[in-house]
Amino acid sequence: MEMGLSLDETKEEFDPENVIKKFEEISRNAGKVQEETLRKILEENASAEYLLNVGLNGRTDEESFKQCVPLITHEVIEPYIQKIMNGDSSPIITGKPIPSFSLSSGTTQGKRKFLPYNDKVFDTTMQMWYTSFAYRNREFPLTNGKALAFVYSSKPFVTEGGLIAGTATTHVFRHPKYKDLTKCIRSQSCSPVEVIFGSDFHQSLYCHLLCGLLHYDQVQIISSSFAHSIVQAFQTFEQVWEDLCSDIRFGILNERVTDPTTRAAMSEILKPNPKLANMIYYKCLGLTNWYGLIPELFPNAKYVLGIMTGAMEPYVKQLRRYAGWLPLVCADYGASEGWIAANVNPRSPPEEATFAVLPNIGYFEFIPLNETRNGGAEPKPIGLAEVKLGEEYEIILTNFAGLYRYRLGDVVKVMGFHNSTPELKFICRQNLMLSINIDKNTESDLQIAVEEASKLLAAEKVELIDFTSHVDLTKEVGHYVIFWELSGEPDENVLKECCNSLDKSFADAGYVSSRKVGSIGPLELRILKKGTFNKVLLHCLSMGTAVNQFKPPRFVSDNNKPILQIVCGNVAKSYFSTAY
């Protein structure tokens, strides 16, 4: 079984149609490919302490694997990971030593997870990027232009045992073969590496914008890991565009950029260009509410690319304002633990995006959630070839880096099939749940409630910038708290209506019945001061989270005290629901 095109094969010539052909082949018999993938994973790691401890004893068939190996969460594998981080190089979770670790963002649970990272993970990342690019390029062909990519690489550190630890994107950017990849997918960043690896996020963001403008006629893609980062970049542009024009006009970098390495790199490409500065200046003056800013600035851009599903979906509306008529293309589906599926239908709008599972990058199982919700014992996971159209599942991952039957906590829905591999829609994180007693509201439920209530802001010409939630149990009767940061100050009565709408929009039977009998108190809407979510971002960055990873938390637990203190300490107004 082939993993897909290798970098050596593509260094000289990259053929997207060949990549598509290979994916079509492996997706026609996804079940068989899954068996072979599992066999390969277990063969390579047969000597691992973890697999020997559970009694697998070198067997590589699916039946033995499922009988011996339990379903796990990160807490189970953490002690093994800790041994490796402390310097134990014996076969603990993989046959060969783990050379490095990637870190999750920690914005969900308030604690970062260390995850094994090796060359196999890099290879699967490359295969995912090749596959999705091939299908995108079929729909939106690129010439050898530039990408305005808002990417930032955090500085890795060394564990107690001498291993490198950093974000997954940092490992990718620092990999010696990464430059070959950018050549293959025809989207070299218009920013020098010194900007990507800059020491200060705000300075790097400013320089990314400046580099994009300097190469305005070559930029064909606007991208970042998450939609949030792109929105944030152009919100920043609204504030600094005149400074950017001045830099271009006189060829002198603004004093806000103080990092000497970054300044030196920018000085090589920044030359006086009054004509370009004037063009940008008058384009900006001519825009209404910044609608269509991206295609105005970058006339040859083909699309805007980033993750726009799940927690990123609320930013799609803001992104459409900047993107105007340009297509918004969803990037692929993965987690900190590994990649899962590619967007092979790039013309689908973000709200309808689905992702086709790559059956040879890992072994995937699915827990049927309809059976779980109906009560009784937890159902047994089923294989990739057994999932049913229209059903929702929790994903279990086994990969080439030592994660075996690992519960990702992601809920997905099977929307169709690409040949025989399922096309998934990401629904929500299973463990992000507003719950006080019998009520169970997921991230998706929260998002639906917020979207419904925020419609009332339209008449006031006010936008919802961001939101999060909390369960307040400090009083005898607990209640939900929803935090909103807004672009303006709507009428008090409108905010009271928003609060009532939020409360009524949670349709979960347990919540509704609890509200009616008073075992859950009235929902509280807290309006935050402007800039609160930027403070949350800065806190996460100070804790080592990379900008590429940052996802504003949709739920803040009592355990996540620093972020809870930030949002609670920046409340401007508060309203309680009278809906029940």
d(CA 295, CA 301): 6
The DSSP code sequence of 38-62 is HHHHHHHTTT-HHHHHTT-TT--SH
Which residue is listed with tokens 């600035």?
297
d(CA 176, CA 149): 19
Q: Which residues contact 118 (CB under 8 A, 6 or more apart)?
A: 94, 96, 98, 99, 100, 400, 401
Strands (E), 40-186: 100-103, 114-117, 145-149, 157-158, 164-166
Query: Rounded to a whole number, what is the distance in angstroms from the first to the last CA of the chain?
Result: 60
d(CA 104, CA 549): 8
**Residue 136 neighbours by CB distance under 10 Å:** 26
> β-strand 145-149 against 219-226: which pairing, if any?
parallel
pLDDT of amino acid 359: 94
Count the alpha carbons within 13 Å of 193 in the hemisphere toward its beta carbon: 7
Burial of 555 (0-12, 13-18, 19+ CB in 10 A): buried
pLDDT of amino acid 108: 52
Contact between 420 and 31 (Cβ < 8 Å): yes
d(CA 358, CA 364): 10
Helix (H) or strand (E) segment spanning residue 467: strand 464-472
Phi first, then psi: give them for residue 220, nearest 5 degrees. -115, -20
> What does the buried/exposed string (b/e) look like for 65-81 if buried means 16 or more CB atoms within 10 Å of the residue's CB?
bbebbebbebeebeebb
Contact between 556 and 468 (Cβ < 8 Å): yes
Quote the DSSP letter at residue 402: S
> What sign results for the dihedral spanned by CA atoms 401, 402, 404, 410?
negative
Contact between 303 and 349 (Cβ < 8 Å): no
Which amino acid is located at 556 in the chain? V
d(CA 398, CA 369): 20
The residues facing 320 across adjacent strands are: none
Which amino acid is located at 320 in the chain? R
Which three-class secondary structure state does DSSP give residue 89? coil
Strands (E), 47-152: 100-103, 114-117, 145-149
Tokens describing residue 433: 């749940």
Q: Please give the chain's pLDDT, 580 residues, in tens.
A: 344 444 344 443 468 888 899 999 999 999 999 999 999 999 999 999 999 988 888 899 999 999 999 999 888 988 988 888 888 888 999 888 888 787 775 555 556 788 888 888 888 888 888 899 899 989 998 887 889 999 887 677 777 777 777 776 666 766 666 666 555 554 578 888 888 888 888 899 999 999 999 999 999 999 988 888 898 899 999 999 999 999 999 999 999 999 999 999 999 999 999 999 999 999 999 888 899 999 999 999 999 999 998 778 878 888 999 999 999 999 998 888 888 999 999 999 998 999 999 999 999 999 998 765 555 566 789 999 999 999 999 999 999 998 999 998 888 999 999 999 999 998 877 766 788 777 778 887 888 899 899 999 988 888 898 999 999 888 888 899 999 999 888 999 999 999 999 999 998 877 888 888 788 889 999 999 998 998 988 888 777 666 666 778 888 888 888 889 999 999 999 999 998 8
pLDDT of amino acid 10: 42
Phi first, then psi: give them for residue 138, nearest 5 degrees. -65, -40
pLDDT of amino acid 431: 66
Q: What is the largest CA-CA distance in the chain?
A: 71
Contact between 454 and 498 (Cβ < 8 Å): yes
Which amino acid is located at 333 in the chain? Y
Tokens describing residue 435: 């719950």
Helix (H) or strand (E) segment spanning residue 186: none
Which amino acid is located at 375 in the chain? G
Which three-class secondary structure state does DSSP give residue 553? coil
Q: Which residues contact 533 (CB under 8 A, 6 or more apart)?
A: 465, 466, 485, 552
**Residue 305 neighbours by CB distance under 10 Å:** 27
Count helices and strands in the chain by DSSP H and E runs: 22, 23
d(CA 106, CA 562): 12
pLDDT of amino acid 438: 75
Query: What does the domain layout of the chain look like in residue ranges?
Result: 16-103+360-429, 141-326, 443-576
The DSSP code sequence of 353-365 is --EEE-TTSSEEE
Spatial CA neighbour of 206 closest among 177, 158, 170, 239: 239
Which three-class secondary structure state does DSSP give residue 570? coil
pLDDT of amino acid 183: 55
